[in-house]
Amino acid sequence: MIRSRHVFYLGGYDPIDAAAQYRRFSGQLKIFTRTWDVATELGELETPGATSCARWRISSSTSHWEVDTVFDVMLWDDLVRKDLSRPFFTRILKGSMHYFDFIVSGASQRYFAANWRYGFYYLYPMLLSAVLAGCAGFIGCKLAAWSGLAGFRAVVVEFPLGILMFVGLLRLVGERLRILSLLDLWSFTHDYIRGSRPDLEERLDQFANLLIEHARGRTAEEIIIVGHSLGAMLAVDVVSRALGLDPDFASVGTSVCVLTVGATIPKVVLHQKAGQRRGAIAVVAAEAAIAWWEIHSIEDCISFYKFHPVELRRIDREWSRSKPHIRKFPLRRMLRPATYNRYRFHFLRLHYQIVMANDARSKYDFFLALCGPIEFVRWIIATGGLLDFVAPDGTWRLADDEPFPAQQPQGVA
């Protein structure tokens, strides 16, 4: 049974700052408290690492157990906001150029082969831009017709009018429809694959040193590094860098675990230029001292369901033999039916559910996994997940010598 845990969380391409992260966590913690009938106390927001880290502490308890969790958010929102603050035309031109690189390189075709739903997610900015271009062209033609022009003169008027209308529509609805932010994301991913973002490289090195410091300090019984969305790739990269700086940091006594959720690691490693990043995940996968599991949910279309990020092949079952070992937990089981129906077509909201609190007791619950007493390496292999440790009446089964209905899969260490 765990009594102290240190969590390092690396989120995706999101501009929200430390204060907003703290407010979101605070609201979700209240849902967790109601769902599992757990008493919780949230500490104040701390910023020990200036722009690179935010921290808060959580005390969770029932009559059976008490756990203290330190939650460190590895921040890089300032890098995202720097991208979003670039001039409009810079974002459009650079983003479009880098976006189409994924087509020319063949990466987008490999996305469809890996997971067709993610392939359509990749196409979203292009398809929506095509719709806006069609609307702009239609308006341009109507304006030219209204002016009474015909033939070549009409074309001369229609073409620039269409471009102006298209730019105007992008300015008007591009942010709301996430076209611009997605172009920024693909541009960022392009630069990350090639290692051409020195500000990001420096930040990841800072994260790696922070991880080594706390692992060596043995301030907690268990360390879990959580990566969500694009942050999953960055989290594995950070662990790889930490192993490069100190190969023994995960073997000093504190259990070190990696949990990747809503992960988009293949969006990086399926690119032909991503050799360095493929090498980083291979290092972590080969490290026996680190447990690495990845959770897949069929409802999350902004991830690579049933695709192994190291072996780069589709899988049909859980318990993959090589790391990361895969578990499948459906999002619909984490929410009450009314809640799930409210979000079922809000794809981004479902993408974030995997790192939010459930309002229904489920095999997987982000907050119970990080703030509860069950060791990561025990509940993740349990057939019933977290529910194998909590009876329907809320009674906890935590004795170390008590048999659990869990069976470690063959070939999983």
Contacts of 178 (CB under 8 A, 6+ apart): 125
The helix-helix angle for 230-245 and 275-286 (nearest 10°) equals 70
CA distance linking residue 175 with residue 182, whole number of Å: 9
CA distance linking residue 202 with residue 186, whole number of Å: 20
Across-strand partners of 295? Answer: 261, 327
CA distance linking residue 13 with residue 234, whole number of Å: 11
What kind and span of H or E run contains 293?
Answer: strand 290-296
Encode 404-413: b = buried (16+ Cβ within 10 Å), e = exposed.
Answer: beeeeeeebe
pLDDT in tens, the chain (413 residues): 899 999 999 999 999 999 999 999 999 999 999 999 999 999 999 987 666 899 999 999 998 899 999 999 999 999 999 999 999 999 999 999 999 999 999 999 999 999 999 999 999 999 999 999 888 878 777 766 676 656 555 556 667 777 888 888 898 888 889 999 999 999 999 999 999 999 999 999 999 999 999 898 888 999 999 999 999 999 999 999 999 999 999 988 789 999 999 999 999 999 999 999 999 999 999 999 999 999 999 999 999 999 999 999 999 877 667 899 999 999 999 999 999 999 999 999 999 999 999 999 999 999 999 999 999 999 999 999 999 998 877 788 875 545 444 444 433 43
The residue type at 147: S
Helices (H) and strands (E) in the chain, counts: 15, 10
CA distance linking residue 189 with residue 144, whole number of Å: 41
> Which pTM does this prediction carry?
0.91
CA distance linking residue 203 with residue 221, whole number of Å: 26
Residue 158's pLDDT is what? Answer: 66
CA distance linking residue 87 with residue 301, whole number of Å: 30
Contacts of 236 (CB under 8 A, 6+ apart): 227, 258, 260, 265, 280, 281, 284, 292
User: Are the C-beta atoms of 375 and 65 separated by less than 8 Å?
Assistant: no
Reduced to 3 states (helix: H, G, I; strand: E, B; else coil), residue 19 is helix
Give the CA dihedral 212, 217, 220, 225, nearest 10 degrees. Answer: -10
Residue 149's pLDDT is what? Answer: 57
The closest alpha carbon to 65, from 371, 335, 339, belongs to: 371
Encode 249-261: b = buried (16+ Cβ within 10 Å), e = exposed.
Answer: bbeeebbbbbbbb
Assign residue 43 a region: left if phi > 0, alpha if psi is -120 to 50, beta otherwise? Answer: beta
Look at the alpha carbons of 346, 351, 354, 357 in this order and tell me if their dihedral is positive or negative: negative
Residue 405's pLDDT is what? Answer: 43
What the block records as the tokens of 381 is: 């292999």
